[in-house]
Structure 1
Amino acid sequence: MKKIILFTAFVALSLATTVNAQEEIKVQDKYTAHNKGKFFVSWGGNREVYTKSDVNFRGKDYNFTVDNMVAQDKPKGWHVDYINPARMTIPQTNFRMGYFINDHYSIAIGVDHMKYVMTQDQVANVTGVIATGSAFDGTYNNTPTAMVEQFLMYEHTDGLNYVNTEFSRHDDISSLFKIGNTDKIQVNLTEGVGVGLLYPKTNTTLLGKERHDDFHVSGYGTSLKAGLNVTFFKHFYIQGELKGGYINMQDIRTTQSTDDRASQHFMFFQRLIAFGGIFKV
């Protein structure tokens, strides 16, 4: 009798172990169970807000600072330009391409194509000296001055290009939404840190001088982000992110003269939504 009981218990335990092993294999067989070795690419749009910034303008015959300049982004709204290859750089866009080095961490490169536009006709305090032979010549000492176009038009609209590398963590939180089959729908939480260069094409009308109209490496930026990723049918996803960062540009080209420069630093807060794909090669 003891032998029968022991044999029955052994068989039951073996069956239970086999079932558990099969369940584990099923989980492991899911494409979404592991990320290591996968590539991803995404494209989307963004909106920004910026802190006020002290902007210094300097050249052979002038050196002045506009205190607490106010600026905003330049949204295009929902538009076909986001997917038109010939006009993709006109809206505010985000491109990213990356690789999972393990199941939870990825490294990516990308461009945040933002736009920065000084609020025209605002009144700001100006400090410095202008001696260009224009109507604006004089010495300024916290002098309230209207930013009329003849005096200054200042924007990074083609654009405020933050070319960066990001290191991010990804966590599957599908169970919180009671999603059983993550190969159909998977929800992921992601957080990351980024660092990169600013490569703007600055459009500036300054004291009647001819503007510089070319891309120029002007400084650096750092950023932190958090987002939610929803992946459909293993390979396609939509991702929303909130990103905050710091931009420091000490070498901004403003006119055709190489002596003319501007500098500024400020914080930004970005909201973005992107569509992408994830796959193994």
Structure 2
Amino acid sequence: YYIAHTELFVIQLFLSVKKQYLLFFLLIFSKKLSAQQVSDANADGPKIGKSIFSNEVKRNFSRKGDFFVTWGYNHSWYDKSDINFKGPGYDFTLKNVVAHDRQTPLTWDYLKPSLITIPQFNFHFGYFIKDNYSISLGWDHMKYVMDIPQSVQIEGHIDPMISNPGIPTGHYAGQYNGQVINVGPDMLRFEHTDGLNYASVEVERHDDIWVPRSQQTSLTMETGLGVGAVIPRSEVYLFNVGENNYWNLAGYGVSAKLGFKFFLTKGLFLQNSTKVGWINLTKIHTTGRNEYDTASQKIKYVENYLVLGYQF
């Protein structure tokens, strides 16, 4: 009797332990099945580019295949640069020239369609080739104005008569080897105010910084590299002879940018970016006698711009 009860107890204990193990394995299996289903769902969902920021909420949509367009205005700062002037009877370089941009006063002109391109504007149109990479075409309309008067070093020579037909140079005539002269309006007026136009192709990367659970707004960082042509309209007067020249392909430039985009809605965004660039102008129109007179310079600049954009 005792042995029989003992065997019955052992059998009941075995069945109880077996039932617990079975429940445990069922629980583990259901967890793995659930994880597999989530993984499969993610595999079928949109491919979202990996952000360098550890934002908690991820977007539930991809940007790949979207277009975007932006429009806004800029402010620029220029490093000192050397400007070389060359033509019949002269070949001289002004060293470390100081220049600034020229902001259009804030008036209703910014909102008039016929005058909208007068201020220093930025326009870009782009396409997302991947979720977090895009390529765009841009036009940066900057303005460059040499400070007059200013004292600079000069190297080269200036004859008493230059260009063709001859232009008298007065007391500026001479041979120079680093002397300091005061450049006044009777010698030079030099500006790209209509403007210093940088037409570029740019490649951008986009990294989400913050995405709310509503997915309707977000904050994104944009970085990019660009290369393009520089097509200035230069207004130059050399010894009181010159004009507001027509646009011409004067050189090329390269640039890098960093900015932040805040999406007001899923498509509408406000963007502020800073761009650093280098421009090489090898054929600047000066007196209007383009077959004789020319100038060249290399410009380093920093540009900040604020634009309104739409992604669709």
Q: Taking structure 2 as the reference length, what is the TM-score of the superposition?
A: 0.80
Q: Which residue of 2 aligns with 1:167?
A: 203
Question: Counterpart amino acid of 2:174?
Answer: G
Q: Does 1:87 align with 2:115?
A: yes
Task: Pick one of 206, 210, 225 that aligns with 2:238.
Answer: 206
CA contact (8 A) 1:39 1:100 kept: yes
Q: Distance in 1 between matches of 2:264 and 2:70?
A: 14
Cα contact 1:212–1:253 (8 A) shared by 2: no
Partner of residue 78, structure 2 = 50
- 1:109 correspondence with 2:137: yes
Structure 1 position 20, deviation (Å): 4.8
Question: Aligned pair 1:222/2:248, yes or no?
Answer: no
Deviations along 1:129-163, whole A, 9 cap, x unmatched?
Answer: 22222313222332322221110010000000011
1:147 touches 1:153 (CA, 8 Å); kept in 2?
A: no
Q: Which residue of structure 1 lines up, in the alignment, with residue 308 of structure 2?
A: 275
Equivalent AA in structure 2 for residue 256 of structure 1: G
| CA distance, structure 2, for counterparts of residue 143 and residue 17 of structure 1 | 78
| Secondary structure in structure 1 of the residue aligned to 2:114 | coil
Aligned equivalents of 2:276, 2:230: Cα separation in 1: 15
Supply the AA of the counterpart residue of 1:221: G
Q: Which amino acid aligns with 2:304?
A: R
2:288 paired with 1:261: no
Distance, in Å, in 2 between the alignment partners of 1:165 and 1:4 is 63
* Cα displacement (A) at 1:210: 2.8
When the two structures are superposed, what TM-score results if normalisation uses the length of structure 1? 0.88
Structure 2 residue 23 is matched with structure 1 residue 5: yes
* Residue type of the alignment partner of 2:122: N
Gaps of 5+ in 1: none
- Corresponding residue of 1:97: 125
Gaps of 5+ in 2: 1-17, 48-57, 162-167
Counterparts of 2:200 and 2:209, CA distance in 1: 27
For residue 197 of structure 1, what is the aligned residue in structure 2?
229
**Separation in 1, partners of 2:253, 2:46:** 40
Q: Which residue of 2 aligns with 1:185?
A: 217
User: In structure 1, what is the Cα distance between the partners aligned to 2:60 and 2:27?
Assistant: 36
Q: How does 1:54-73 map to 2 (within 5 A)?
A: 54-73=82-101
By how many angstroms is 1:16 displaced? 4.9
What is the root-mean-square deviation of aligned Cα atoms in Å? 2.7
Aligned-residue identity in percent: 36
Query: Matches of 1:45 and 1:77 in 2, distance apart?
Result: 12
Aligned residues: 275
CA displacement at 1:120 relative to structure 2:
0.9
CA distance in 2, matches of 1:191, 1:267: 19
Q: Runs of 4 or more off by more than 4 Å in structure 1?
A: 10-25, 27-32
